[in-house]
Structure 1
Amino acid sequence: MLVGPDGRGHRCTRGAGARSRGGRPWSREQNGRCPRHSGGEPPPRPPAGERCTAWPVCARSRFGGGGGAVCLLDALSQESGPPAAVTVFEPSDRLWRGRPYQRDADCILVNLPSRAMSVRAGDTRHFDRWLADRRRQTGALREVSPFDVAAFPPRAVFGDYLESVAQQSVARLDERGGKVRLVRERSVRAAPAAGGAVLTTERGTRHEADRVVLCIGAGVPDDGFGLDGPEPGFVPDPYPVARTLAGIDPQHTVAVLGTGLTAVDVALALRAGGHQGPVFLLSRHGVLPAVRQQPVVHTLRHFTCFSQEAPAFRPVRNGSWERSREAAELPSCLS
């Protein structure tokens, strides 16, 4: 994310446009200083008992328009003094969703329970409430049991959530004077400048910024084995699976490199698409992802006796046998 000035000189107001004492701009930056002030006297604070309603002189911009950008937009829109302007650089068609949560098959689920997927800091149930509202709106009112897979909604649904939060955040910022500008270009260079930075896009456009925040995500998988080439048969990035796996012959053998969550997504997508050929998950360690589910409180009410491996007898002198001490100390139901 990049932060850039919008060219406006906001001043402290008392109700309807009155200026602060001395008529100088008021900034809510830390220690009362704006990043544009380099060692000079900080702007005066409003008189005691009077509330400053002006926005900071400085604005913000960002690299990337995915989930990380949505988290930041949501937080900025709820600040008492949001930035005057925010510029978001996102060249792809997956605005606000990012690569992981683009529109895809419903069998591709999020990796964590919904209670752990909130984008709002300090509000862990934000996504859960959004899901509940969505179920009410669509008529899906059934209760979700502790073992229900609906606790892990499809990634595309989480992408819908990100889009919804982003749109609401942009609207809140706009209502309070903070403008969000979207640049559909890739920023390829950032250089320090007086009071901030200058960013250059792939088309040569320059953007000034007071602050730069990187929200670039994890990127695409690396072709560490050099398998990509002119010959068909290799899929370097399986997402979206609805498109990348659609051309695989259902009778062909499929080898998946790795046994992590992406491999599980591929296997689920192939199964949902009716694939009938063998599917191999190849890994040097052979460990599948841990099961992630909601914990269930359970009180033990019944105890079933079971046999425990313990030598019932052991050999003694003269070729005779006697009951072992371990077996003798076990309860009768365990021996």
Structure 2
Amino acid sequence: MQNIIIIGAGFSGTLTAVQLIRNSSGQSINVTLVDRNCDMGRGVAYKSDSKNYFLNVPAGNMSALEEDPNHFIEYCKKYNKKIVPSSFVSRAIYGDYLEQLLSDNERSLDGQVVITRVFGEVISLSAGNGTTPPSVTFKDGKKLTGNSIVLATGNYPPQNIQIFDRTFYLNEKYANDPWQLKTTTIFDRTVPTLLIGSGLTAIDICTSLLHKPGNEKIYLVSRHGLLPQSHRVSLPTYKTDQFTKPILDGLKTLRAQLRATRRQIHIASSGGADWREIINSI
């Protein structure tokens, strides 16, 4: 039996487990899905239950199953029939979707694949050698061994801004990671708020602040002063097999894939297509 340990049960870890279930082909596989939080399937991106945070990709492009492009849309329509492929839905709904997808696939197990959920924080791992298998060590001292270890730990927390007086980091009004539960309580519209950065995270925090009582100003500071570009209303016309299959699948390096992407964007733009159609097709 293959013993596979997946560290991290957000989007990537959850879909790794789902694909192992769906593609086991009769093999005996024991999958241990490890996460330090109890919300299996949600991760940092989808753990908030706030309806103010939205996916930055249209629902029609958010299916978790490549072979079923409408899988997420059909899930959404069970709860809101007005949702269409061009809709932008809340990240909370997508978190529910991932949780449901994992649970549904666990219920479909035929005994060949065993999924074990483990709640704990991994602090170290060993690649093993010829005589000992790969292993992970938890904060409480417990160990697990397996044939393979998958790291699906997501994005690391942002670093502190570099300033001369580092005691500023201790100020209760400063948060270097807006997604930590203990820092979200500092957001307050009754006093001015300064956000360093003007990307998608800054837009999320602005949206959250705008739903709080108060009317003080929100300041965004960035090196370039740019805001995220909006999506087109229509969905992309390029299909995956038109682009990724013949061009990206045979290329071995990121540099070669980047060049191929730029080349395809140039070709598509010459024919009147939008560059975002190529990016969305990947």
CA contact (8 A) 1:113 1:293 kept: no
2:199 to 234, 247, 260: 260
1:199 Cα shift?
1.8
2:101 corresponds to: 165
Deviations 1:69-120 (A, max 9, x none): 1211221121223543111111123321000100332111011111222222
TM-aligned CA deviation for residue 230 of structure 1: 2.8
Aligned length: 230
- The one-letter code matched in structure 2 to 1:126 is H
Question: 2:66 is paired with a residue of what secondary structure?
Answer: coil
CA distance in 2, matches of 1:143, 1:129: 9
Matched letter for residue 94 of structure 1: D
- Answering whether residue 8 of structure 2 is matched by residue 68 of structure 1, we say no
Q: Does 1:232 align with 2:172?
A: yes
In the TM superposition, 1:274-313 aligns within 5 A as 274-295=213-234
Per-residue Cα deviation, 1:276-328 (whole angstroms, up to 9, x for no partner): 0011110010111010243179xxxxxxxxxxxxxxxxxxxxxxxxxxxxxxx
- 1:200 matched to 2:137? The reply is yes
Shift in alpha-carbon separation, 1:143–1:70, aligned structure 2, 3 A: closer
Deviation at 1:145, TM superposition (A): 8.7
Alpha-carbon offset, residue 61 of structure 1: 1.5
Q: Which residue of 2 aligns with 1:88?
A: 33
Matched residue type, 1:99: V
- Mapped to 1, the partners of 2:174 and 2:27 lie a distance apart of 47
Establish whether residue 186 from structure 1 lines up as the match of residue 121 from structure 2. yes
For the 8 Å contact 1:60–1:85, the answer to whether it is kept is yes
The alpha carbon displacement at 1:185 in A equals 1.5
In the alignment, which of 49, 63, 72 is matched to residue 104 of structure 1?
49
Query: CA 1:183–1:232 in structure 2 vs 1: closer, same or farther (change >3 Å)?
Result: same
Letter in 2 for 1:282: V
Structure 2 length normalisation: TM-score? 0.74
Structure with the largest fraction of helix: 2
CA distance in 2, matches of 1:200, 1:145: 43
The C-alpha deviation readout for 1:203-239, integer Å capped at 9, x for no partner, is 2222111111111111222213366633221122222
Partner SS, residue 229 of structure 2: coil
> How many Å separate the matches in 2 of 1:208 and 1:270?
45
Q: Which amino acid aligns with 2:129?
A: A
Q: Distance in 2 between matches of 1:198 and 1:204?
A: 12
Looking at CA atoms only, which structure, 1 or 2, has the larger radius of gyration? 1
Distance 2:144 2:12 in 1: 21
Determine if the alignment matches structure 1 residue 59 to structure 2 residue 18: no
**1:205 maps to amino acid:** K
Q: 1:296, 1:185 → 2: CA distance? A: 41
For normalisation by structure 1, the TM-score amounts to 0.63
Equivalent residue runs for 1:237-248 within 5 Å:
237-239=177-179, 244-248=183-187
**Where does residue 90 of structure 2 map in the other structure?**
154
Q: Is the 8 A contact 1:96 1:163 kept in 2?
A: yes
Q: Which residue identity is paired with 1:168?
A: D
- Return the letter of the residue paired with 2:61: A
What displacement does 1:197 show?
1.0
Counterparts in 2 of 1:157 and 1:263: CA distance versus 1, 3 Å: same
Which letter does structure 2 place at the counterpart of 1:105? S
Does the CA contact (< 8 Å) of 1:185 and 1:201 recur in 2? Answer: yes
Task: Tell me which moved more, 164-173 or 73-82.
Answer: 73-82
Q: Are 1:216 and 2:129 counterparts? A: no
Which residue identity lines up with residue 284 of structure 1 in the other structure? R
Q: Deviation digits for residues 223-258 of structure 1, max 9, x if unmatched?
A: 1336663322112222268x7444444321111000
CA separation of 1:130 and 1:249: change in aligned 2, threshold 3 A: closer
Q: Secondary structure at the match of 2:169?
A: coil
Match of 1:78 in 2: 22
